[in-house]
Structure 1
């Protein structure tokens, strides 16, 4: 077996890389003439919108795929002629962690050790080190399928590190995991780079993760459109970033600014609206029209430079979603009192009490394994409660779950689409499931194609769609019957920053028409879009309130964010349980 060269100039060197795939009756160019090189011992981020070619590039770098044209050299080895040698020398963590969920943590480790040729004489020491690093030592006998998302993430990373690789590839490693788990993974990566001089290439949808890397490479439509240090992207945004104070509901003001001429980006930040302008000139008139005041310069962030590079401008915001009726304003849409769900002796949810007002965006936050998805399934009538009372849309779910579900829309975490059916076939199927017939069904299907920009993809199977299009299709399916209450279970997990912004513009338009929205998310900046939220852990309520009220839990350091409050609440709860 060929061995990797010890003194290669670049752990990864790509020259004029091209790759295309068949899709339907045509072909899609996933990569078009990409060239790049990574420095030894560096951490590198790979960014870009959905369908930009990130996963394709990573798979080509592992030797799993062969390029159509160009070359890929990994640790001095050719990816075509020496693919197996590359795979034995690198570490690779795919998007879904690559775990065998019917095997225990220990059995997964043993399987990957066998596959990577890790000798029996060194396994004990390596296992002990990795389990200590990932805090998985107490869970080696647990089935991988019963781990939380964050624990699966760390086990997947441990399996890819059994043989201390010189080059580590991570494809969206933090998708669907909470802020604490993300922080723990990056702590592991930083430790590895310092201790073992490992080179890392990580594809990520989190711009704050890219900001901590040495180099950033940005793909769009299969082409490399930008590369450099995070500071170089920040420099491009200097003098174009502002914070304004909203008059009224912050998310409404943000939606009025997003995508307007001359405005590249508008996001929520600690109760204010953060704006990136195309030019250095301040558009005061536009701020006033949107209900924003007191503009002040703000220090640029990496994401500001990223959005400038992606050339966001006029027409960036999607049109408001049309709904045939405006829902009634006041009143309670959801009422939960002492909600419980037991599985044997285990309480997944215990004593949960809260309410959601009509037309409100309400957030359910918590670390992986907190009980959010279980609560969600009970709210949707998909899982019976074992204690407490639960009313949705004025109906008791323990007595009239089927009737209540007729007024609910549910967008599942995994999108629940039929991958072998086309976009149009999925829309027709779900409209029939919701009892739509004749001209009304045809009208709603056409609405979905038009309002969610799916017409050009109507004949494409949903399994072939980029993540952002799958998200839109899943939202369309959940809205086919025009529900009064919409449940969104981690709807933007794995979706790129551009698609996330467009998604929330659409959700804002629904809320403004009186649709009640309940959402779970691990993107703490998205929690700013909620009118109120609760944070739960181990099935119990930690805190609830408006974004301003939740930020108060972060302390008084002058830089309070929902993420800081979230982390403090969870860490304090863990410390209290440890002492008890």
Structure 2
């Protein structure tokens, strides 16, 4: 039977597409896409959203003619990528999650290399480079090595390299993962400018639902199927009348009120927001009666967001899967959380003490005279733009990097003289999880247990406890490198907690995670902190700063703000900014400091 006639008005036309992986040599078959249909009009901006493993990357790789569908019809700019792959790739640009910059080449040399690969004529390059460098604000960095750029600048360079030729369709796979709010805003300004001025068609996958709100169309994927698609306003409608803002009473941290609300029947979602808790309910009324007995001082209705509707869709889909026997059972830690009456630990002991900390790399000062302390059972956030010095600070706290000067004590141990002893009290989850991909889950746990000096019966006991807690029984003999991102995160957490550390360091551990996975992650962290574990976290999701007891914001190695989330928001507002949430507070504080620095240089 002949396929559908390609429409000249569609940049991407997907009809009942299927894609499977595995199914041989003992590898279970996975339906990455199952009967997926969607259309992307020419000149439009379309977002793909969904949990880890939903099929977003698979769909983009099919559109980029890097994979072939197992069934259905797919047209890219009217072309069949299965039989016309080269013609498709000549007219599109695709930026994968791990874009291949050459770190030992300069910004200009990377642009030249990609222009050569795409056959961009010399007479076209000059004007194209000028425009791209201006849009990405990289004009003054053309001679800098790509490996020396901050994470946000690398992403902008990757986008510039993707656009060295002018495509008819741009495919972007999670371009803002690991990028701070300032760089995220700049990247989106570039994308929207391209759509508006060049009528470029763009399909972008994202973990940020506020980014999807900016798109004309949003496609929600889950387990390879389309749950919903339409404009953001259309998709928000089911959540209308179900969203509330609950203000904690008696100074209770928002994360503890969130936990209480999540345990109520009929709650679909609860997440800290600006010191309060955004509460999504299955019912449109009765919230006042549900409030009785809860530590809530005020409750008010608020307009629905796309993220609210997204969480409704996922909860509904998971409940249906659970009813049919396809969903996963809650892990023991989730069951414990559901029964817990969490309270704040009352210890005032400082387990991390930092005084006048400095770290230099040659003439470059990465951390410039930083001072703070962290108490037992506290959740402490290290925030800052890409290149601010927070990762350097983080690595010194973990004992992975020596300080140039200043004092640093962790769990009562001086890190300048006894780093190995201090590390025995510490668990560490790196941004890339530091797992051994060619080893099984079991072998990874055994290795990390040995590194923490756990052997024999004690190692077996702790491994069993972590496997149970993080729901890893079914994955024990799977290769870690083949696990979905959510399970890699669970394994990394299990490995870090094997030796029951006093302090847990989390370096952007939720980078790239969808909202549902982030909720589950922070419920675990809340439980650990309530039990007395000290948590130090870096993150680019500013909503996660609301889970912290206190936060430190750095830029260019210097401390800009230190205090509770409320105190930091108040500091930003005192500078004249219209602050609604931590995202706007973060941007305001960093921009205020940068304006002061510019004025200081001009005055000098």
TM-score (normalised: structure 2)? 0.92
Measured after TM superposition, the shift of residue 459 of structure 1 is 1.7
Report the more deviating stretch, 168-177 or 437-446: 437-446
Does 1:452 pair with 2:470? yes
Name the structure 2 match of 1:20: 20
Structure 2 residue runs of 5 or longer lacking an equivalent are: 320-328
**Per-residue CA distance 1:468-489 (angstroms, 9 max, x = gap):** 1111111111101000000000
SS at match of 1:399: coil
Does 1:492 pair with 2:510? yes
In structure 2, distance between residues paired with 1:30 and 1:114: 34
Measured after TM superposition, the shift of residue 558 of structure 1 is 6.9
Measured after TM superposition, the shift of residue 146 of structure 1 is 1.3
Residue from 284, 291, 306 that aligns with 1:287: 291
**Per-residue CA distance 1:310-335 (angstroms, 9 max, x = gap):** 12688879234899xx9882210111
Name the structure 2 match of 1:63: 65
Does 1:250 pair with 2:268? no
Measured after TM superposition, the shift of residue 293 of structure 1 is 3.9
Name the structure 2 match of 1:423: 441
Contact 1:327 1:515 survives alignment (8 Å)? no
Contact 1:93 1:170 survives alignment (8 Å)? yes
Structure 1 residue runs of 5 or longer lacking an equivalent are: none
Does 1:571 pair with 2:594? no
Task: Spell out the pairing of 1:498-517 with structure 2 (5 A cutoff).
Answer: 498-517=516-535
Contact 1:327 1:484 survives alignment (8 Å)? no
In structure 1, distance between residues paired with 2:420 and 2:218: 50
In structure 1, distance between residues paired with 2:297 and 2:74: 52
SS at match of 1:541: strand
Measured after TM superposition, the shift of residue 102 of structure 1 is 2.0
Name the structure 2 match of 1:77: 79
Does 1:536 pair with 2:536? no
SS at match of 1:56: helix
In structure 2, distance between residues paired with 1:363 and 1:127: 38
In structure 2, distance between residues paired with 1:131 and 1:353: 37
Runs of 4+ in 1 over 6 A off after TM superposition: 313-317
Contact 2:345 2:530 survives alignment (8 Å)? no
**Per-residue CA distance 1:241-287 (angstroms, 9 max, x = gap):** 11112132221111122254210000011111110001112244543
Measured after TM superposition, the shift of residue 557 of structure 1 is 7.0
Name the structure 1 match of 2:114: 112
In structure 2, distance between residues paired with 1:294 and 1:45: 35
SS at match of 2:418: helix
Residue from 243, 249, 261 that aligns with 2:265: 261
Residue 545 and residue 176 in structure 1: after superposition, are their counterparts in 2 closer, same or farther (change >3 A)?
Answer: same
Coordinate RMSD, CA, aligned: 2.0
Name the structure 1 match of 2:580: 560
**Per-residue CA distance 1:326-357 (angstroms, 9 max, x = gap):** 98822101110110111111111110111111
**Per-residue CA distance 1:398-432 (angstroms, 9 max, x = gap):** 01111111000010111100111111211111111
Contact 2:6 2:75 survives alignment (8 Å)? no
Residue from 559, 564, 568 that aligns with 1:546: 564
In structure 2, distance between residues paired with 1:254 and 1:197: 43
Does 1:388 pair with 2:406? yes
Report the more deviating stretch, 284-293 or 142-151: 284-293
Does 1:319 pair with 2:335? yes
Residue 20 and residue 156 in structure 1: after superposition, are their counterparts in 2 closer, same or farther (change >3 A)?
Answer: same
